[in-house]
Amino acid sequence: MSTQPLSESVLKTPILVTGGAGYIGSNTCHALAQAGFRPVIVDDLSKGHARFAAPFELHVLDITDEPKLSELMLHLQPAAVIHFAAFTEVSGSMRAPVDYYRVNVQGTVSLLRAMLAAKVKKLVFSSSAATYGTPIHVPIREDHPTVPINPYGRTKLMMEQMMADCRAAYDLDWIALRYFNAAGANPALDCGEWHEPETHLIPNILRAARGDIPALELYGTTHPTPDGTAVRDYIHVSDLADAHVRALRLVLEGGVGESLNLGVGQGFSVRQVIDAASRVLGRPVPLVEKPERPGDPPSLVADATRAMQRLGWSPKYTTIDSIIDSAWQWYQRQGFAPSQD
Ligand SMILES: NC(=O)c1ccc[n+]([C@@H]2O[C@H](COP(=O)([O-])OP(=O)(O)OC[C@H]3O[C@@H](n4cnc5c(N)ncnc54)[C@H](O)[C@@H]3O)[C@@H](O)[C@H]2O)c1
């Protein structure tokens, strides 16, 4: 990555952040502000939280509303867009695929049309390990076949394909960051992982450990993994946020169109994460075992070498204990009142 300082005019120009009131988007807005950028959020607050976006300019807007999005884009003339807004649950996408295609695919079509109308041709985008499907081997490199096994993963792959086509046709500069499992929190910030319903493992472990839910529901104990539970690569949200700032700098320099994995490169089974949490929290995690959720691959572990080379990035949180500890510190400050926006 180039270390050329960015000009004052680029730093003052807004960076439009869709989904910036959500978990990863809000953490990234803080990292952008810290790096001297001016994030401006577009979020319909369907899943995000106004208080996460509070320090920044927020436009409450559905990205599928192309006329309004286009009007805002023309008005703001951002230097680039970072696109987080999406429906994000694998299991939700199995139950309601049309909603996922509408928000993720149609929403990205609206966004691209609004960007092109305003001549904004720089995009960093949240993709996912779900684009790979059930891997043939782990760790997974970017050149691994992409055969998603659920509608969510298919929407993310389609979004990447749209961007590649837009590079060929309109010279769009883009980077898709394929995150593995985002986790953890920056305890100094108000924003953290808070989804309703929550389907992610670590926040549900914390809820069960604190007694906010009766027990953790552990889905799938017969996967072809050493202990039968699904193996995932957990990457800290602050490390993701840092990677976005670096990817933004690269797209601003221009000449890019590529997908990069973001993960630590270590896999932990659900049982290993529960054991680590019991150790870090110093208390047991009540759990009930449930059948496997459809659309869940047994093991997803990243080879993030390419992101390290291209972005000059490396994760700072490299142990599962430190990731869980940061999430716990943040969670302990939260009351259990999802409507507390
Ligand atoms: N959390 C993970 O482990 C993970 C892993 C891989 C990829 N991702 C991707 O990262 C991105 C952010 O994930 P997150 O965990 O922060 O999710 P999140 O639900 O916390 O954030 C998504 C945000 O998008 C907003 N949004 C949804 N639909 C919208 C619409 N139509 N118009 C405007 N805003 C809308 C929501 O209100 C929310 O604030 C998503 O694109 C997700 O697919 C997440």
pLDDT confidence of residue 3: 58
85-136 pLDDT tens trace: 999 999 999 999 999 999 999 999 999 999 999 999 999 999 999 999 999 9
**Domain identity same for 247 and 289:** no
Q: Which of 262, 278, 313 is the last residue of a domain?
A: 262
Q: Is the C-beta atom of 117 inside 6 A of ligand 1?
A: no
**Does residue 189 lie in a domain region?**
no
Query: Annotated catalytic, 152?
Result: yes
Neighbours of 309 (CB within 10 A): 11
Say which CATH number the domain at 64 has.
3.40.50.720
Span from the CA of 23 to the centroid of ligand 1 (angstroms): 7
Atom of ligand 1 nearest to the CA of 127: 7
pLDDT confidence of residue 338: 44
Atom of ligand 1 nearest to the CA of 103: 31
**Domain identity same for 322 and 243:** no
Q: Which of 152, 179, 219, 331 is catalytic?
A: 152
Residue pLDDT tens, the chain, 341 long: 555 677 777 778 999 999 999 999 999 999 999 999 999 999 999 999 999 999 999 999 999 999 999 999 999 999 999 999 999 999 999 999 999 999 999 999 999 999 999 999 999 999 999 999 999 999 999 999 999 999 999 999 999 999 999 999 999 999 999 999 999 999 899 999 999 889 999 999 999 999 999 999 999 999 999 999 999 999 999 999 999 999 999 999 999 999 999 999 999 999 999 999 999 999 999 999 999 988 889 999 999 999 999 999 999 999 999 999 999 999 999 875 444 44
**Does residue 135 lie in a domain region?**
yes
Span from the CA of 136 to the centroid of ligand 1 (angstroms): 27
Q: Is the C-beta atom of 182 inside 6 A of ligand 1?
A: yes
**Does residue 5 lie in a domain region?**
no
**Domain identity same for 109 and 254:** yes
Q: Is the C-beta atom of 126 inside 6 A of ligand 1?
A: yes
Say which CATH number the domain at 225 has.
3.90.25.10
**Does residue 307 lie in a domain region?**
yes
Please tell me the total count of domains within the chain.
Answer: 2
Span from the CA of 13 to the centroid of ligand 1 (angstroms): 24
Q: Is the C-beta atom of 195 inside 6 A of ligand 1?
A: yes
pTM given for the model: 0.96
26-44 pLDDT tens trace: 999 999 999 999 999 999 9
Atom of ligand 1 nearest to the CA of 152: 43
**Does residue 81 lie in a domain region?**
yes
> Residue of the nearest CA to atom 10 in ligand 1?
126
Residue 293 sits in which domain range?
201-232+265-332
Q: Is the C-beta atom of 181 inside 6 A of ligand 1?
A: yes
Span from the CA of 47 to the centroid of ligand 1 (angstroms): 8
Atom of ligand 1 nearest to the CA of 49: 39
Span from the CA of 164 to the centroid of ligand 1 (angstroms): 21
